[in-house]
Amino acid sequence: MAAVAVLSKSTHLRRAYRLFSTYTASRLVTPHSNKIPKPPLNPQPDLRSFTNLPRFLSTNTNAAQASNETVSDAQGKQSGDSNQSSDQGKPVRGGPISWLSFLLLIATGAGVIFYYDQEKKRHIEDINASSSAVKQGPSAGKAAIGGPFNLVDHNGRSVTEKDFKGKWTLIYFGFTHCPDICPDELQKLAAAIDKIKGKAGLQIVPVFISVDPERDTVEQVHDYVKEFHPKLIGLTGDPDEIKKAARAYRVYYMKTEEEGSDYLVDHSIIMYLMDPNMEFVKFFGKNNDVDALTEGILNEIKQYKKAKA
């Protein structure tokens, strides 16, 4: 920086010297002469002219410094504005869902599923407990299953439990849109009553009661039961009456996987053997095949007749 300052001062001195020489030569020109006298070979500079040089040099130095400071300030301001623009243009990233919220969501879903499964198991256990329970009172020794109902058969006639008295009856609850379980159980039921008739000459009345009254109309039930056995009686009715009948027989049913009019019905898979007084004798679950069902019904009828003898 010192060397630059010395060079700058030297340059200003040379410039001042040339100005001084030109000024001195112009002073020597006479009014009536067109010739400009040559400057002396060794002119003596007027030292008074140099009194203003420090001020001139100082002014130029200060101007250069001010110019440098102005440029620096401008660059600094531009850099600051650039950083500020960069900060303003940077998108604000929203906070993600916390792990705690995610875990709470999973726990809530798992809790709902667990609650549904427990309720379903509880209903099934209630059915099994009711089947093995004994009703106290005049009907001692009889399970509290069965009762009055008022439904409509597949021919459109009003039917109650009294219409089945005097006959052995095998009742199954299901629905006509059932994809596999109901058809399998009804085929098993039809095969068993045919075997019983062949072995003992007994006519068992097969009854199908719908748990889907919204879709199982009389016509729908009529077409459905005829696919399994000509003696199979199909019953449907008002939703409240279906609910009463299901409650009387301790039958669990619930809509599942509902998508508009297309849905399934989860329900108990049980056949109920009723005696000629329409009182409960025994239930048979899904684990019984045709032979087991046939033998089980025949054994119950034999014991019933022996008790009545």
Per residue in 78-133, pLDDT (tens digit) is 444 444 444 444 444 545 568 888 788 888 888 778 877 777 777 666 665 554 44
Taking a C-beta distance cutoff of 8 angstroms, is the pair 241, 151 a contact? Answer: yes
Q: Residue 55 and residue 230: Cα distance in Å, rounded? A: 130
Q: Which two tokens stand for residue 32?
A: 């009536």
Q: Which residues pair with 256 in a beta bridge?
A: 264
Name the H helices within 28-180.
53-89, 99-132
Q: How far is CA 257 from the centre of its chain?
A: 15
- Does the pLDDT value for residue 212 go beyond 50? yes
The verdict on whether residue 154 carries a ligand-binding annotation is no
Q: Please report which confidence band the pLDDT of residue 71 belongs to, taking 50, 70 and 90 as the band edges.
A: very low
The CATH classification number of 136-308 equals 3.40.30.10
**Domain segments of the chain as ranges:** 1-53, 136-308
Mean pLDDT, the chain, rounded, equals 76
For the chain, state the CA radius of gyration: 56
Asked whether the predicted pLDDT for residue 258 surpasses 70, the reply is no
Query: Was 182 annotated as part of a binding site?
Result: yes
CA angle 257, 261, 263 (to 5 degrees): 25
Q: Which residue has the tokens 């459109």?
A: 156
Mean pLDDT of 146-158: 95
Query: Which residue carries 């060794």 as its tokens?
Result: 42
| Most confident stretch, 41-50, 68-77, 82-91, 267-276 | 267-276
| Report field, pTM of the whole predicted structure over 0.85 | no
Residue 177 marked ligand-binding: no
